[in-house]
Amino acid sequence: MTSAPRYTLRWSAQAERNVDEVAARIARRDPAAANAWVERVIKHVEDTTTIPLAGRIVPELNRPDLRETFLERYRIVYRVDEHVVILVTVFAGQRDGRPDDADPDAG
């Protein structure tokens, strides 16, 4: 039995900034917790490359190519192209704003 091909993963500049900002906030209280959180985010995001359409369609945007998953209280929004998953943004679910604050077509 062969496994499904993995998609290539790319991070947008926005997503990288988001993760860095959250990690910096956590690190002010607990640097080890910040490192552990970043590792969980990376693993979670890498998992989307196996079955990218398993994430739900972002309800505010209703675009089939834009999906989201959740890690703890964080929403992870990504765009699915032919064989590429592009991480668009990562933000706390209760944050004011919407996933379209970031450019979903950036990558």
The residues with which 92 forms a beta bridge, in sequence order, are 74
Instruction: Categorize the per-residue pLDDT at 56 as very low, low, confident or very high, splitting at 50, 70 and 90.
Output: very high
pLDDT tens digits for range 19-53: 999 999 999 999 999 999 999 999 999 999 999 99
**Residue range 53-69: mean pLDDT, rounded:** 93
Residue 100 has pLDDT above 60, yes or no: no
Tokens of 40: 């969980």
Structure pTM?
0.82
**Residue range 54-71: mean pLDDT, rounded:** 93
What three-state secondary structure class fits 47? helix
The residues near 57 (Cβ < 8 Å, ≥ 6 apart) are 63, 64, 66, 67, 68
